Amino acid sequence: MHSDREVIEKRLDRVLNQRVKPAVHARSVPLTVGIWNVPGEPVPVAEGLAADYRPARVGDHWGPAWSTSWFRISGTVPAEWAGLTVEAVLDLGFGTTEPGFSTEGLVYRPDGTAVKALNPRNTWLPVTRNAEGGEEFTAYIEAAANPVVMHTGPGELSFGPTPVGARASWLHDENAPTGEPRYRLRRMDLAVFDTEVYELVQDLEVLGQLMRELPLESSRRWQLLKTIGRSLDAIDLQDIGGSASAARAVLAPALTAPATASAHRISAVGHAHIDTAWLWPLRETVRKVARTVSNVTQLMDDHPEFKFVMSQAQQLAWLKEQRPEVWARAQEKVKSGQFLPTGSLWVEPDTNITGGEALARQFVHGKRFYLDEFGVETEEMWLPDTFGYNAALPQLMKLAGVRWFLTQKISWNTTNKFPHHTFWWEGIDGTRIFSHFPPVDTYNADLSGGELAHSVRNFQDKGAANRSMVPFGYGDGGGGPTREMLSRAARLKDLEGSPRIEIERPADFFEKAHAEYPDAPVWSGELYLEFHRGTLTSQLAGKQGNRRSEHLLREAELWAATAAVAEGAPYPYEELDRLWKTVLLHQFHDILPGSSIAWVHREAEETYAELAEELGTLIGRAQAALAGPAEGGGEVAFNAAPHARAGVPALGGSTRRTSAAPLAPVAEGDGFVLDNGLVRVVVDGRGLVTSAYDRDADREALAPGAAANLLQLHQDFPNEWDAWDIDAFYRNTVRDLTDADEVTATDEGVRVVRSFGDSRITQTLSLREGTRRLDIDTVVDWHEKEKLLKAAFPLDVRAAHSTAEIPFGHVDRPTHTNTSWDAAKFEICAHRFLHVGERGWGAALVNDSTYGHDVTRDVRPDGGTTTTVRLSLVRAPRFPDPDSDQGTHRLRYGFVIGAEVADAVREGYRMNLPERVVPGSAEVAPLVAVDSEAVVVEAVKLADDRSGDVVVRLYEAHGGRVRASLTPGFTLESAVVTDLLERQTADQDGCEVTQSGDLRLRLRPFQILTLRLTPHRG
């Protein structure tokens, strides 16, 4: 038989796209349109409805970047449409076919209630199902002229520098120029919705897509091909509506053939990933959420089987606060079981950079919102789009009552394919969480034949399991599922040649998947994303703001709780709740990583400055209450770090501190020496560290002939995703910054000034008595473009692995590149410290704001091994923020010579929690004290329920088992172990109250323990 396959396939494409789809709304009449351009920021709905509209028409231009325009549309249903379904078809002039990345609109009724949103893939609006001739119609559209930042066409991305992401300051000045309009109205019509033609479109799309995915040798493929050909023959191209039923009748048998018993089973979960900020500012995300929720709740009215997950509590909180009418619709659908609060987190945060206690609070505030507002105890951690996952997360999930974990992003790996789709994820403490990566490899699926076929082909656990999930709905910029997707799901529920599709809750999927595959394989340790490594460094100011805010919040809670218990001072519950939520918001995975437009990052920097001021006030108020009167000019030093120092107890304050001033440098040759009897550091005439000698170990830390604190400048121009990526080839081009403008001795240490390009770096290298830490205070006046600045420390150490701090512990990573998995980790994350060593001796780098690091190892001609540790200090990508990182930054890092991991833990905390000295004369006893340095107290606060109980969160920090005693600074009534939400757990092991009122603790490696201590109130 002669093959006509390609002829029929091409015929299907043309007839479907050029004739059948346009016939869904073939009969139409134009609407009358009015426009009102908002002079500044978006306005409340009532103001938009009451505005003074001027006439507009299709073809008119509107919308300078980031502005808002309101459209009033009105019309009359023609008499001949009586009894028909009528819709409005509204094309605002979308600048791309990708929903959420261009102009969007939200449609309102005249009474101000939201109907649904408009985007390039969703241009229809319901008007009436059973029209009456002469029926009047009026609606309003709040249209956002969000510029197209990244897309150049369908599936095409541009990463070129663009100014459109800058904050539109002119929006706040009515007299300022408004810029050029970016959009042009294309269609504003009332139209008949031809249901039969619409259903024909869905039939042809589903069968056509399925046909193309089946093997060429498959009988089913050829049966579908011939059936489609006969259906196309039945279509009268001059009367699509009149012939649609006949064409559908031809297709009906093909659509009723059932799937095979062994067909893969897919749980389809309605979803709309909404980036809380990215190529749009936070204020626009509030409107994106309202649009998406309006869309999905409208769909739920027509499709009772439709279920939709919403995964970020912050976004629902915005609805409640700012869009109560949309919030009410969401609550209605929660009660019907269709709208599913999911995810357990305040936002979907970055989990590489976010600190441990902040991650705990993501769960606390997220889960508590769902409990308070919906009575729902969420059990999933839903993180489809975060750039890697730290190995403490399984334990944090379990402590928050989370049973399941979902992500998709690891499918973006550029080197190694992750070996599982369903598996147990094991954290650093041994906790395991049942996890799933949807093999569809997207969190924005549209249930196309290609996506579903890819899910089946790609599924890594065939034979042992036969079930996967597909999150479907347009996302990133929101939008959500469409009626077309639901039509596909209905046809694919049981169709020969296709996996079986069922729309259901994530919990349903996980329960079934776990029952089917209880012995799924185990992945131990971090889920490292082999991509987007530059996010560890981009937008340094934002990362510094976050790091500082996390530690300020620790101090504010600690000192406020201490003052409340010891002095009866009021505890600032409302302020701390609000400030925590602000910090958590800015940990979203496109804000903290530095991958958003300029508007987002400049606004974040302003917010962090405000946070620092307010938290400083809270800290000062509590410390003043504790320090007492300043008798004779006395001073009290407060130590918020978890280890004692300089005579000041951990978590307490003292007037008897013994802090030493920096040593004066001693001239030697053309450089200087810093020597405190523990270590001897030589800085040469170039301002480089040429010797770091450990006197106790009688050992030189640096490799022979090498220099440390060597600043190195790399060309940094990745192939794509500029702010996100560092590509391995950056290492091929390097410039060592060895020329110094100035190397001088000061009271603080050795001052080194270097100029290069348009930039200037000023560093002060200092050493104090009693410490092995060389401090390097760095001010960078940075004006480079597409460059990466690193600081290198080549050490005379044969280190098999590096040890990097992560939340609530640390991880070891090989320094070799034996496998492709090892080689792919050429840029790694560390929080406050990175340690390398060999048996009996090591060294560490600690920092106050750096996350990106790299570690390499080379064998020298003398047989020794050089392990080079480098910190990534600052970048200069140009997309999406062309001025990324430009300006002056101050950061600190320290070189700890002769350090074990325990030393690195201690010095990392000390660098990030410097002493505070205030006037006073009182000794401030710690609210809690622990007798083991291996047990680190991470948080001390009053319980959120305002009972006055003291909550202490601590963890084992050295990676071993430990027994310790915790001594409260108050008379203890009782103590219990709780989950992260401060609720008593069934398992009370690990904590025992002694007769003396102390707590005897037993912790396994990296175990996190939350204790609720009730003071005696007699």
The one-letter amino acid code at 815 reads T
Q: Distance of CA 365 to CAs 313, 314, 585, 715, Å?
A: 8, 9, 11, 41
Find out whether 870 and 854 touch, Cβ atoms under 8 Å: yes
Q: Which two tokens stand for residue 182?
A: 């970016």
Where do we find the tokens 């004692």?
Answer: 644
Question: What is residue 182's three-state secondary structure?
Answer: coil
- Hey, which residues does 674 pair with through a beta bridge? 681
**Of 194, 203, 350, 385, which residue is the catalytic one?**
385
d(CA 936, CA 843): 21
Judge whether 725 counts as a catalytic residue: no
DSSP state of 351: S
DSSP state of 257: P
Q: Which two tokens stand for residue 146?
A: 């969000």
Where do we find the tokens 């349109």?
Answer: 33
Q: Distance of CA 220 to CAs 13, 159, 227, 261, Å?
A: 20, 43, 10, 16
Cα angle 496, 502, 504 (rounded to 5 degrees) comes to: 175
* Residue 149, CB-side half-sphere exposure with 13 Å CA sphere: 26
Q: Which two tokens stand for residue 809?
A: 């512990």
| DSSP-derived pairing of the beta strands 679-683 and 671-675 | antiparallel
Question: What is residue 419's three-state secondary structure?
Answer: coil
List the beta strands (DSSP E) in 439-482.
467-472
Find out whether 723 and 594 touch, Cβ atoms under 8 Å: yes
d(CA 140, CA 673): 74
Q: Distance of CA 164 to CAs 88, 155, 783, 884, Å?
A: 31, 20, 21, 14
Where do we find the tokens 């450990």?
Answer: 694
List the beta strands (DSSP E) in 865-914.
865-875, 887-897
Q: Which of 933, 996, 1002, 939 is nearest to 968 (CA)?
A: 996
d(CA 935, CA 920): 30
Question: What is residue 507's three-state secondary structure?
Answer: helix
DSSP state of 593: T
φ, ψ (nearest 5 deg) of residue 565: -75, -45
d(CA 368, CA 357): 16
| DSSP-derived pairing of the beta strands 422-426 and 432-436 | antiparallel
Find out whether 873 and 788 touch, Cβ atoms under 8 Å: no
Where do we find the tokens 């357990």?
Answer: 344
- Hey, which residues does 833 pair with through a beta bridge? 846
Give one DSSP letter per residue of 690-709, joined into a string: EEEEETTTTEE-BPTT--BS
Where do we find the tokens 């401030």?
Answer: 924
Segment (H or E) for 489 = helix 483-491
d(CA 589, CA 600): 12
d(CA 640, CA 652): 7
Q: Distance of CA 969 to CAs 565, 578, 750, 884, 1009, Å?
A: 9, 28, 42, 47, 19
Tally of CB atoms within 10 A around 865: 18
Maximum distance among all alpha carbons in the chain?
106
DSSP state of 271: E
φ, ψ (nearest 5 deg) of residue 184: -140, 125
Active site residues: 385
